[in-house]
């Protein structure tokens, strides 16, 4: 049996709790050992500490990650960083500087300038950081990507994401950074369905649109976006984004939290001879232009467990790279920033279209926009912009932008936050 990977986890609540649960299992299976953890409110998680059996397992608990690394950094193979996004860069750097491999939750950052600094830091790392986008390692996904790049379906033309996750009012009050563009100190927050909650699917779509190698992501050459909001938040809850990659693939992304009913996350890959419909967590199929439909089984997938094991294999030298690196995350971070520059405004939906619904299943209040599901579908299939087609946009049309426009990101954000 190989020696267990020795782990420190920063944080106890939120998604850090999911990492703790996974590591409890991985430890019981002999793959890992939790050495230490920390949280500024560690005492508020007394019940969790008991249920994770920290005392029996000999896990040391700290209030701050710095003294934790001071005391135990030399014993750690891996540091898990599942904390608020604005803390990722400093925690990542602290791990790298101590020679510890970092499992960094997605998104690595939502500021393209900070990402470049993190990439530079990671060049000095003993082991390349993993960015925890959950779905890249799915076996069916990798096998289909391999078939795409082999040319079996003909040239890749378009990729499309239809992601609709209803979120109640309470979701936007879950912490002090939900739905915000900027922090009180002026730092970039940019919390949104595109940048945070459904970031996995955006990153997946970029993965489908990569070049001729398996582990590649589409590089945005141009972008255009319309951003909307139904909720009383600073940021956007609905994104229409179109981007052309440097290899000519047209990617369309349609995401919203301003909806009701069941959640939906469908990725579509359009090639010359067939299109792939991949409903994450459910099933996939290949629809050939000649009428054949080829079902693709998606195996049960425990994302966190599998991503931990995949990174352990890399740390042990059994594989050559983590599933997603900071460099691989660049298209995601850049495209998200360009969406704001292109849109230049976050347009409130016409008031008459927004309705408030109380769902019987959870007694929570939701906002949904009449006609939005059709507008999202129309945009994905035909590239029809709701701003002009439905008269939803009040300002000038969204601009076609390129990565050369990134320096306009911070001024745009400041102007949006000031409105």
Ligand X SMILES: NC(=O)c1ccc[n+]([C@@H]2O[C@H](COP(=O)([O-])OP(=O)(O)OC[C@H]3O[C@@H](n4cnc5c(N)ncnc54)[C@H](O)[C@@H]3O)[C@@H](O)[C@H]2O)c1
* Nearest-approach distance from CB 225 to ligand X, in angstroms: 21
* CA 285/CA 62 separation, integer angstroms: 48
The answer for residues whose C-beta is within 8 angstroms of residue 1's C-beta and 6 or more apart is 30
Q: 4 or 14, CB closer to ligand X? A: 14
How many residues belong to the site for ligand X (CB under 6 A)? Answer: 23
The answer to the question of residue 263 lying near ligand X (CB under 6 A) is: no
The answer to the question of residue 102 lying near ligand X (CB under 6 A) is: no
Closest CA to 371 of 384, 362, 360: 384
What is each CA distance from 51 to 140, 366, 398, in whole angstroms? Answer: 35, 33, 51
Residue 169, SS3? Answer: helix
Binding mask 108-137 for ligand X (x = CB under 6 A): ------------------------x-x---
The answer to the question of residue 38 lying near ligand X (CB under 6 A) is: yes
* Nearest-approach distance from CB 226 to ligand X, in angstroms: 24
The answer to the question of residue 235 lying near ligand X (CB under 6 A) is: no
The answer to the question of residue 165 lying near ligand X (CB under 6 A) is: no
* CA 242/CA 256 separation, integer angstroms: 15
Q: 170 or 388, CB closer to ligand X? A: 170
Residue 274, SS3? Answer: strand
The answer for residues whose C-beta is within 8 angstroms of residue 303's C-beta and 6 or more apart is 134, 135
b/e per residue, 128-161, with b = 16+ CB within 10 A?
A: bbbbbbbbbbbeebeebbebbbeeebeebebbbb
Q: Which of residues 6-25 bind ligand X (CB under 6 A)?
A: 10-16
For 277, list phi and psi in degrees, rounded to 5.
-115, 115
Q: Which stretch binds ligand X (CB under 6 A): 36-44, 123-131, 245-253, 390-398?
A: 36-44
H or E stretch covering 251: strand 250-256
Q: Give the strand pairing for 238-245 and 250-256.
A: antiparallel
Q: Which stretch binds ligand X (CB under 6 A): 32-40, 226-234, 369-377, 399-407?
A: 32-40
Question: Which H, E and C letters describe 179-202, residue by residue?
Answer: CCCECCCCCECCCCHHHHHCHHHH
Q: At what angle do helices 15-28 and 303-315 cross, to 10 degrees?
A: 60
Binding mask 50-79 for ligand X (x = CB under 6 A): ---------------x--------------
Tokens representing 354 are 């927004």
The answer to the question of residue 365 lying near ligand X (CB under 6 A) is: no
Q: Which of residues 182-221 bind ligand X (CB under 6 A)?
A: 196
The answer to the question of residue 412 lying near ligand X (CB under 6 A) is: no
Whole-angstrom Cα Rg for the chain:
22
* Nearest-approach distance from CB 104 to ligand X, in angstroms: 8
Q: Which residue in the set 22, 83, 245, 412 belongs to the binding site for ligand X (CB under 6 A)? A: 83
Q: 39 or 345, CB closer to ligand X? A: 39
* CA 27/CA 22 separation, integer angstroms: 9
Q: Which stretch binds ligand X (CB under 6 A): 5-13, 72-80, 278-286, 317-325?
A: 5-13
* Nearest-approach distance from CB 165 to ligand X, in angstroms: 12
Q: 43 or 152, CB closer to ligand X? A: 43
* Nearest-approach distance from CB 140 to ligand X, in angstroms: 18
Which residues sit at the interface with ligand X, rule CB under 6 A?
Answer: 10-16, 38-41, 65, 82-85, 87, 105-106, 132, 134, 175, 196
């Amino acid at each position: 049996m190989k020696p267990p990977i020795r782990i420190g986890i920063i944080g106890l609540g939120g998604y850090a709790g999911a990492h703790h649960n996974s590591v409890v299992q991985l430890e019981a299976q002999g793959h890992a050992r939790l050495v230490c953890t920390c949280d500024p409110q560690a005492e508020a998680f007394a019940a969790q500490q008991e249920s994770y059996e920290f005392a029996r397992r000999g896990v040391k608990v700290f209030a701050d990650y710095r003294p934790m690394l001071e005391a135990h950094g030399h014993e750690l193979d891996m540091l898990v960083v599942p904390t608020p996004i604005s803390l990722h860069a400093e925690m990542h750097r602290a791990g790298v500087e101590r020679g510890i491999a970092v499992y960094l939750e997605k998104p690595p950052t939502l500021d393209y300038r900070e990402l470049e600094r993190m990439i530079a830091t990671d060049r000095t790392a003993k082991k390349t950081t993993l960015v925890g986008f959950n779905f890249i390692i799915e076996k069916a996904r990798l096998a289909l990507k391999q078939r795409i790049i082999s040319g079996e379906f003909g040239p890749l033309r378009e990729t499309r994401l239809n992601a609709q996750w209803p979120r109640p009012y309470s979701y936007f009050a879950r912490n002090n950074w939900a739905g915000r563009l900027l922090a009180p100190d002026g730092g970039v927050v940019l919390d949104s369905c595109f940048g945070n909650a459904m970031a996995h699917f955006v990153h997946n779509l970029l993965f489908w649109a990569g070049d001729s190698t398996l582990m590649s992501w589409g590089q945005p050459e141009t972008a255009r976006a319309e951003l909307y909001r139904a909720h009383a938040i600073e940021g956007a809850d609905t994104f229409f984004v179109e981007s052309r990659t440097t290899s000519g693939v047209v990617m369309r992304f349609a995401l919203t939290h301003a909806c009701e009913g069941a959640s939906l996350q469908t990725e579509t890959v359009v090639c010359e001879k067939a299109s792939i419909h991949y409903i994450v967590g459910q099933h996939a199929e290949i629809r050939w232009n000649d009428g054949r439909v080829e079902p693709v089984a998606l195996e049960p997938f425990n994302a966190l467990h599998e991503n931990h094991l995949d990174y352990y294999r890399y740390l042990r030298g059994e594989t050559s790279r983590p599933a997603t690196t900071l460099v691989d995350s660049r298209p995601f971070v850049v495209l998200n920033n360009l969406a704001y520059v292109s849109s230049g405004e976050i347009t409130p939906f016409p008031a008459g279209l927004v309705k408030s619904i109380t769902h019987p299943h959870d007694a929570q209040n939701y906002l949904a926009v009449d006609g939005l599901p059709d507008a999202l579908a129309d945009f994905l299939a035909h590239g029809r912009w709701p701003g002009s087609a439905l008269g939803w946009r009040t300002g000038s049309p969204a601009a076609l932008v390129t990565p050369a426009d990134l320096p306009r990101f911070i001024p745009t954000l400041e102007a949006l936050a000031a409105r």
